[in-house]
Structure 1
Protein backbone atom coordinates (compact mmCIF):
# COMPACT_ATOMS: atom_id res chain seq x y z
CA UNK A 1 0.00 0.00 0.00
CA UNK A 2 1.32 3.44 -0.86
CA UNK A 3 1.97 6.24 1.59
CA UNK A 4 -1.07 8.42 2.29
CA UNK A 5 -1.13 11.85 0.66
CA UNK A 6 -3.10 15.09 1.09
CA UNK A 7 -5.26 16.67 -1.58
CA UNK A 8 -6.23 20.32 -1.27
CA UNK A 9 -8.88 21.33 -3.80
CA UNK A 10 -10.36 24.82 -4.26
CA UNK A 11 -13.75 24.41 -5.94
CA UNK A 12 -15.02 27.45 -7.87
CA UNK A 13 -18.56 27.97 -9.12
CA UNK A 14 -22.06 27.91 -7.69
CA UNK A 15 -21.22 25.47 -4.88
CA UNK A 16 -22.63 26.99 -1.69
CA UNK A 17 -26.17 26.46 -0.44
CA UNK A 18 -26.80 23.56 -2.83
CA UNK A 19 -25.69 20.49 -0.80
CA UNK A 20 -22.20 20.44 -2.30
CA UNK A 21 -20.35 19.91 0.99
CA UNK A 22 -22.74 17.11 2.02
CA UNK A 23 -22.30 15.45 -1.38
CA UNK A 24 -18.50 15.75 -1.14
CA UNK A 25 -18.53 14.27 2.36
CA UNK A 26 -20.61 11.29 1.17
CA UNK A 27 -18.25 10.61 -1.76
CA UNK A 28 -15.16 10.95 0.45
CA UNK A 29 -16.53 8.53 3.04
CA UNK A 30 -17.39 6.02 0.30
CA UNK A 31 -13.74 6.24 -0.80
CA UNK A 32 -12.39 5.79 2.75
CA UNK A 33 -10.93 9.30 2.98
CA UNK A 34 -10.60 11.67 5.93
CA UNK A 35 -10.80 15.45 5.83
CA UNK A 36 -13.30 18.25 5.40
CA UNK A 37 -15.22 20.46 3.00
CA UNK A 38 -15.50 24.11 4.04
CA UNK A 39 -17.40 27.08 2.63
CA UNK A 40 -15.15 30.09 2.02
CA UNK A 41 -16.21 33.74 2.22
CA UNK A 42 -15.48 34.27 -1.46
CA UNK A 43 -17.98 31.60 -2.56
CA UNK A 44 -15.52 28.75 -3.12
CA UNK A 45 -15.49 25.46 -1.24
CA UNK A 46 -12.19 24.22 0.16
CA UNK A 47 -11.82 20.43 0.19
CA UNK A 48 -8.94 18.93 2.15
CA UNK A 49 -8.67 15.14 2.14
CA UNK A 50 -6.11 12.50 3.02
CA UNK A 51 -5.82 8.88 2.00
CA UNK A 52 -4.33 6.79 -0.77
CA UNK A 53 -3.53 8.60 -4.00
CA UNK A 54 -5.89 6.49 -6.14
CA UNK A 55 -8.92 7.29 -3.95
CA UNK A 56 -8.02 10.98 -3.84
CA UNK A 57 -7.67 11.08 -7.63
CA UNK A 58 -11.14 9.51 -7.86
CA UNK A 59 -12.54 12.19 -5.53
CA UNK A 60 -10.95 14.85 -7.72
CA UNK A 61 -12.53 13.26 -10.82
CA UNK A 62 -15.91 13.33 -9.08
CA UNK A 63 -15.50 16.99 -8.14
CA UNK A 64 -14.85 17.77 -11.82
CA UNK A 65 -17.48 15.36 -13.20
CA UNK A 66 -20.39 17.73 -13.71
CA UNK A 67 -22.58 15.50 -11.51
CA UNK A 68 -22.16 17.52 -8.30
CA UNK A 69 -24.88 19.64 -6.73
CA UNK A 70 -24.66 23.20 -8.04
CA UNK A 71 -22.24 24.09 -10.81
CA UNK A 72 -18.48 23.58 -10.67
CA UNK A 73 -16.59 25.95 -12.97
CA UNK A 74 -13.03 25.11 -11.90
CA UNK A 75 -11.18 22.90 -9.42
CA UNK A 76 -7.64 23.94 -8.51
CA UNK A 77 -5.78 21.10 -6.80
CA UNK A 78 -2.48 20.71 -4.97
CA UNK A 79 -0.83 17.66 -3.47
CA UNK A 80 1.29 17.26 -0.33
CA UNK A 81 2.45 14.58 2.04
CA UNK A 82 -0.27 13.52 4.48
CA UNK A 83 -0.04 15.22 7.87
CA UNK A 84 -2.15 12.65 9.70
CA UNK A 85 -4.03 15.35 11.61
CA UNK A 86 -7.51 14.58 10.21
CA UNK A 87 -10.16 12.10 11.32
CA UNK A 88 -13.53 11.36 9.78
CA UNK A 89 -14.84 13.66 7.06
CA UNK A 90 -16.79 16.73 8.13
CA UNK A 91 -18.58 19.72 6.70
CA UNK A 92 -17.27 22.99 8.07
Structure 2
Protein backbone atom coordinates (compact mmCIF):
# COMPACT_ATOMS: atom_id res chain seq x y z
CA UNK A 1 0.00 0.00 0.00
CA UNK A 2 1.38 3.42 -0.93
CA UNK A 3 1.15 6.47 1.29
CA UNK A 4 -1.53 8.67 -0.24
CA UNK A 5 -2.78 10.67 2.76
CA UNK A 6 -1.22 11.75 6.03
CA UNK A 7 -1.47 14.48 8.63
CA UNK A 8 0.91 16.66 10.60
CA UNK A 9 -0.22 18.29 13.85
CA UNK A 10 1.89 21.15 15.16
CA UNK A 11 1.73 23.53 18.10
CA UNK A 12 1.63 27.28 17.50
CA UNK A 13 0.15 29.97 19.75
CA UNK A 14 -3.20 31.22 18.49
CA UNK A 15 -3.75 28.30 16.12
CA UNK A 16 -7.30 27.26 15.31
CA UNK A 17 -7.44 23.44 15.24
CA UNK A 18 -10.49 23.60 12.97
CA UNK A 19 -8.38 25.27 10.26
CA UNK A 20 -6.46 22.90 8.01
CA UNK A 21 -3.84 23.59 5.40
CA UNK A 22 -3.79 21.01 2.63
CA UNK A 23 -0.90 20.30 0.29
CA UNK A 24 -1.68 17.97 -2.58
CA UNK A 25 0.58 16.34 -5.11
CA UNK A 26 -0.63 13.99 -7.82
CA UNK A 27 0.10 11.07 -5.47
CA UNK A 28 -0.35 12.31 -1.92
CA UNK A 29 -2.53 14.59 0.24
CA UNK A 30 -0.97 16.15 3.34
CA UNK A 31 -3.09 17.94 5.94
CA UNK A 32 -1.46 20.31 8.42
CA UNK A 33 -3.34 21.19 11.61
CA UNK A 34 -2.10 23.74 14.14
CA UNK A 35 -3.21 23.59 17.76
CA UNK A 36 -2.88 26.16 20.51
CA UNK A 37 -2.91 23.55 23.32
CA UNK A 38 -1.72 19.91 23.19
CA UNK A 39 -5.11 18.48 24.20
CA UNK A 40 -6.57 19.91 20.98
CA UNK A 41 -4.50 17.33 19.08
CA UNK A 42 -6.83 14.54 20.14
CA UNK A 43 -9.94 15.71 18.24
CA UNK A 44 -7.68 16.81 15.38
CA UNK A 45 -6.19 13.31 15.19
CA UNK A 46 -9.66 11.74 15.23
CA UNK A 47 -10.67 14.02 12.35
CA UNK A 48 -7.53 13.17 10.34
CA UNK A 49 -8.17 9.44 10.75
CA UNK A 50 -11.86 9.82 9.85
CA UNK A 51 -10.82 11.70 6.70
CA UNK A 52 -8.47 8.98 5.52
CA UNK A 53 -5.05 9.80 6.97
CA UNK A 54 -2.86 6.71 6.88
CA UNK A 55 -0.44 8.11 9.45
CA UNK A 56 -0.02 11.12 11.69
CA UNK A 57 3.12 12.96 12.69
CA UNK A 58 3.33 15.31 15.66
CA UNK A 59 5.72 18.23 16.04
CA UNK A 60 8.43 18.02 18.66
CA UNK A 61 6.45 20.21 21.03
CA UNK A 62 4.21 17.29 21.98
CA UNK A 63 6.91 15.14 23.52
CA UNK A 64 6.45 11.50 24.47
CA UNK A 65 3.54 11.97 26.88
CA UNK A 66 1.22 13.72 24.42
CA UNK A 67 2.34 11.42 21.63
CA UNK A 68 1.25 8.46 23.76
CA UNK A 69 -2.05 10.18 24.58
CA UNK A 70 -2.81 10.71 20.89
CA UNK A 71 -1.95 7.09 20.07
CA UNK A 72 -4.21 5.89 22.88
CA UNK A 73 -7.03 8.29 21.93
CA UNK A 74 -7.21 7.01 18.35
CA UNK A 75 -6.85 3.42 19.48
CA UNK A 76 -3.79 2.84 17.32
CA UNK A 77 -5.92 3.24 14.19
CA UNK A 78 -2.90 4.58 12.27
CA UNK A 79 0.80 4.94 13.09
CA UNK A 80 1.65 8.09 15.05
CA UNK A 81 5.19 9.44 15.04
CA UNK A 82 6.80 12.45 16.63
CA UNK A 83 9.56 14.80 15.61
CA UNK A 84 12.55 14.67 17.94
CA UNK A 85 15.50 16.99 18.33
CA UNK A 86 19.00 15.73 18.97
CA UNK A 87 21.13 16.88 21.86
CA UNK A 88 22.97 19.25 19.51
CA UNK A 89 19.77 21.31 19.21
CA UNK A 90 18.85 21.58 22.91
CA UNK A 91 20.21 25.11 23.41
CA UNK A 92 18.62 26.40 20.22
CA UNK A 93 15.21 24.86 20.96
CA UNK A 94 15.36 26.15 24.53
CA UNK A 95 16.09 29.68 23.26
CA UNK A 96 13.02 29.58 21.04
CA UNK A 97 10.64 28.49 23.81
CA UNK A 98 12.24 30.20 26.82
Provide TM-score, normalisation by structure 2.
0.36
Q: Of the two structures, which has the highest relative contact order with CA contacts closer than 8 Å and spacing of 6 or more? A: 1
Structure richer in helix, relative to its length? 2
Structure richer in strand, relative to its length? 1
